[in-house]
Structure 1
Amino acid sequence: MPFADIIIIGSGIAALSAAKQLAKQKNVMIITKSKVEDSNSMLAQGGIAAVIDKDDVWREHYRDTVVAGCYHNDQKAVKKLVKDGTCSVKKLIHEGMLFDRNEQGEFHLGQEGAHNRRRILHAGGDATGKELVQFMFKQLQEQVNIIENEMAIDLIIHDGKCIGLKTINNNDHVKKYYANHVILATGGCGSLYKVSSNNETVVGDGFSMAYRAGAELADLEFMQFHPTMLYTQGGSKGLVSEAVRGEGAFLVNNHGVKIMENVHVQKDLAPRDIVARAIHHERSLGNDVFLNISMISNFKQRFPTITALCEDAGIDITAGLIPVAPGAHFIMGGVKTNLHSETSIPGLYAVGEVACTGVHGANRLASNSLLEGIVFGENLANYILSKKSVTSIQSSTKTEYAHQKIDIELPTRFEIQEMMTSFVGIERDRKGLLYVKNWFEKYLHLGWLSTSLKEGTKEQIKTINMLSNGWLIATSALLRTESRGGHYRTDYPLSKTHWQNKQVVRQKDKELISLVEPLLGVK
């Protein structure tokens, strides 16, 4: 097998967006730990936020993104997202991507949390991610070599540069791949938690690999919990899109009380971190929480995916109430990158949820994730294509050996999820974070955090990555002694050190606030 010019680890929207552009001129390989369709992009119900409407402007999308992100965003990254996003979406439409339209042939634009106007494009009702992924796969056709069921376990670093990666297959055989450019597009880590909207394979492998290789990571404490996971006594049954609340649905407890009425000026369309904490508080009081959908007359047609989830869970939607609870959804932090998606290691790039561009700040604005994958994936491809070609130091794929099983007892996946949910969840404090950090360290050998993995079966390496990522997130959460966005410390509550208190925000936050406040009508 010839070497690849570019190897992309992952098969979600960011990976496909980059591959689509790169494959026009380069030899591209996609490697994924499971099947190509096993990505969070395939599960994305909401849609793509983009300035398409003639009355909308990029500055408003910028404002909404920064306000939702609690002023922790990178200004240049946000501007790139909202300005280039319009061009990228229009390009997709020109290429034949079909977004939902109304009877007049106009785009059916939805509204979601923290957006101040309708700007969300959908496809297939509530199956936007699936429609987009399938559309891009058709465009790729036979242009890309796709390898399934091989899990990337470590990056190969030579003279400070990333030149390839090691994988392990279902038979625990290890292979080495070499390339001129390696792109991490492995997604987030939501399945570290008991209740999550993520595909079960998504536990943060990209974070672990990058950290072991010496790459810089940032903002891992900012974990977004989606407010409305379909939740029954049997556990989580899937995501109930924020678009449902955008069509008028509202949250009530089992006494019929509207729980968001006096919590935020945007009520049920408040930023996700605020809504998730409100639901968490209700449930801590012993109340159940429901999404009242009785006002949506065409619910089955508008939300076919959610309807199917409810039917499979035995929920009668004609009763107008869907039981919900928060679940881990999206991490704003990740492998730190610049605007070209370059990491701190030459030859290694990161794009999509695994990357931390600073575009989302402390809390992602609804429906900006698919947009991020498309915009930054395409931008990365163009950047790589603009660089001079180099010759790889290797020209083949080599089967190395079968990994030996680690001869110590590791915790189960469920035990790790229990620890993360209990101590690094919607609310955290120093005592709990220290406890869980020490718990992780009982199992983590120093080498598992600082050097490549020399042994372990595929299943054991999955567990080691989960332990490593749990430790990274808990450690990051300990270091940030404030409450902001997806990171809420009960020992540093909002009333004392909240980012909106201009006496305590850092200088870079003040600069961003000064830029955004004129857009809010604040002098």
Structure 2
Amino acid sequence: MSNADVLIIGSGIAALQLASHLGKNLNVRVLTKSKLTVSNSYLAQGGIAAAIGPADHPAKHYNDTLEAGSYHNNPEAVRQIIHEAPGLIQEIAEHGNVFDRDMTGSLLLGMEGAHCEHRIVHGGGDATGRRVSEYLINRLKSHVTVDEDVFVYQLLLNKQDNRCIGVKTKQPDGSIKTYYGNHIILATGGCGQLYSYTSNAKTVTGDGIALAYQAGAEITDMEFIQFHPTLLYVNGETKGLISEAVRGEGARLVSDDGTYIMEGVHPYKDLAPRYVVSQTIYDYLKKGHHVFLDITSISDFKTRFPSITVICEENGIDLADGKIPVVPGSHFLMGGIKTDVIGRTSIAGLYAIGEAACTGLHGANRLASNSLLEGLYQGKKLAEWLNAIPSVPTYEIAVQKQLLKREQIRLPEIQQIQESMMERVGIVRSKSVLKLQEKWLAQFKVEEINDYDSVSVSDLTKIFMLLTAQLITNAALQRTESRGGHYRSDYPHEDNRNWLRKSIIHKHKREVETTDEQIETAITTSTIFY
């Protein structure tokens, strides 16, 4: 048993930013299910969006974020985070050699899809996530302890005041260890590994969302899954992400018959919002075509994209041919654990930051390079808040064990979960296949499992994947329109009259409810809230 003032679950940029900004008077412990550098953040090739160019302004970034998010965003969350972006970049740029600069020493600014200005700050060409993660790891002080290879499988609550007070974990040797804390932060990332094709790290299986849901926290917007248009596709498998920045530098999507597939589809063509590009590629794949990125217009590809070059060459792609085979795959979850802008959930003492959280910044579709930004913002702001508030008493409770016979659990293989989600709750959805998936998931009765102590880590992973899959499927059934990362072939249009509201699911109220918060339907991209 261990106690901490702040207990952080996860080790991505949001978690590391938080840990690095917490005061030395706080005892901080970071628990990560694998190694400290195994996270989506560390893999992130794209950059961080911030309105720092001479022709740019936070109002432009704000409007681009709303448009990409199909106006399902929380406008106040967008305003706060976008406004802070330049300062967050400046803080890192002043203290570390992280970001790429031009010959004059100014930060290089890239262009990505759905942005109206060059505002993407990169590090190491296409290694921004690794650069920022290593910068933050190097800033961790002695009051921060990191425990690796620790699998968190249950949140502990004080029932009297409905406060989260700790977690139960499986240790590397298989033993169970309980950690108590005054503040429990979930920074576990999204759920990309629920799908066959994904850019996500192997560890990103929806754990934090399932944990929060089981504890009774509110979960929102789970239907909105962003499928990245361009994952490297070799021999029927995805091998890594081909950053959107490649298209930002001039690469174009082309089918095997020579058709440039984004012509006439969207005014931004190959830099259209990701859901538009993903759906277009998906349509070509369904018709039996192969789709490639034509990189012949990028003269210095290997210099500009060293990490992507390595991925391609390791998988037998000859870049001299000028074509990289791609497919869309799950990339980012816009929904998650419902929080305010700094990460407070509906349960006292429980917080969520980064991709596990839903602040409303991303709306129905994340604007490229806003994710690392959100993690940096939430990590810093939550640290400032925790540093300023009075300490609360540390609780300890006796956990009542309810023995469960191992043979009662019947679970599918992970590959079955991934294939069923990709086929039925993937890029294109409809009521018939969603109902089929709902029925398939229900047969495993994972919500009836009330004691995890005797369950193996591999089976716990499947349970959390199934729980998260149920949340996505349920939310996708309820939203009878198409918006952002949620596309229904039976409801192919947006329905602003009924569906600009958010849906919320929590364990003790199974149906999806809509809040009284109504985003005005008359928002346009020219509207400025400054």
Q: Smaller-chain TM-score range? A: over 0.9
Call closer, same or farther: CA 1:214–1:2 in 2, change over 3 Å: closer
How far residue 266 of structure 1 moved from its aligned partner, in angstroms, is 0.4
Amino acid at match of 1:227: P
Amino acid at match of 1:422: E
1:393-436 CA distance string (max 9 Å, x none) = 249x99x9999745433210101001100100000111111111
Which residues of 2 match residues 86-125 of structure 1 at below 5 A?
86-125=86-125
1:304-342 CA distance string (max 9 Å, x none) = 010001101100011111000000000000000012311
1:327-384 CA distance string (max 9 Å, x none) = 0000000000012311000000000000011110000000001000000111111111
Instruction: Show the counterpart of 1:205.
Output: 207
How many angstroms apart in 2 are the aligned matches of 1:101 and 1:178? 44
Is 1:462 the counterpart of 2:461? The answer is yes
How far residue 439 of structure 1 moved from its aligned partner, in angstroms, is 0.6
How far residue 68 of structure 1 moved from its aligned partner, in angstroms, is 0.1
Call closer, same or farther: CA 1:388–1:508 in 2, change over 3 Å: closer
How many angstroms apart in 2 are the aligned matches of 1:233 and 1:272? 24
Amino acid at match of 2:419: E
How many angstroms apart in 2 are the aligned matches of 1:155 and 1:512? 39
Structure 1 residues not aligned, in runs of 5+: none
Call closer, same or farther: CA 1:445–1:46 in 2, change over 3 Å: closer
Call closer, same or farther: CA 1:454–1:513 in 2, change over 3 Å: farther
Which residue of 240, 248, 251 corresponds with 2:250? 248
Which residues of 2 match residues 241-320 of structure 1 at below 5 A?
241-320=243-322
How many angstroms apart in 2 are the aligned matches of 1:170 and 1:429? 42
How many angstroms apart in 2 are the aligned matches of 1:23 and 1:256? 57
How many angstroms apart in 2 are the aligned matches of 1:491 and 1:98? 46
Amino acid at match of 2:476: A
How many angstroms apart in 1 are the aligned matches of 2:24 and 2:128? 25
1:424-458 CA distance string (max 9 Å, x none) = 0000111111111111110124334xx56343111
* Contact persistence 1:17–1:378 (CA under 8 A): yes
Instruction: Show the counterpart of 2:417.
Output: 416
Is 1:514 the counterpart of 2:513? The answer is no
Which residue of 331, 334, 339 corresponds with 1:329? 331
Is 1:192 the counterpart of 2:194? The answer is yes
Structure 2 residues not aligned, in runs of 5+: 502-515
Instruction: Show the counterpart of 2:85.
Output: 85
Greater mean deviation of Cα atoms: 439-448 or 289-298: 439-448
CA RMSD between the two structures: 2.2
Amino acid at match of 1:24: K
* Contact persistence 1:230–1:240 (CA under 8 A): yes
Partner of 1:140, secondary structure, is: coil
Amino acid at match of 1:153: Y
Instruction: Show the counterpart of 1:442.
Output: 443
How far residue 89 of structure 1 moved from its aligned partner, in angstroms, is 1.1
Partner of 1:105, secondary structure, is: coil
Partner of 1:258, secondary structure, is: coil
Amino acid at match of 2:225: M
Instruction: Show the counterpart of 2:512.
Output: none
Which residues of 2 match residues 3-402 of structure 1 at below 5 A?
3-158=3-158, 159=160, 160-394=162-396
* Contact persistence 2:64–2:525 (CA under 8 A): no
Instruction: Show the counterpart of 1:484.
Output: 483
Q: Please, what TM-score do these two structures have when normalized by structure 2?
A: 0.93
How many angstroms apart in 1 are the aligned matches of 2:445 and 2:37? 31
Amino acid at match of 1:361: G
Call closer, same or farther: CA 1:455–1:479 in 2, change over 3 Å: farther
How far residue 503 of structure 1 moved from its aligned partner, in angstroms, is 8.9
Call closer, same or farther: CA 1:82–1:475 in 2, change over 3 Å: same
Q: Report the count of equivalent residues.
A: 512
Amino acid at match of 2:425: V
How many angstroms apart in 1 are the aligned matches of 2:335 and 2:405? 33
How far residue 78 of structure 1 moved from its aligned partner, in angstroms, is 0.3
Instruction: Show the counterpart of 1:493.
Output: 492
Q: Please, what TM-score do these two structures have when normalized by structure 1?
A: 0.94
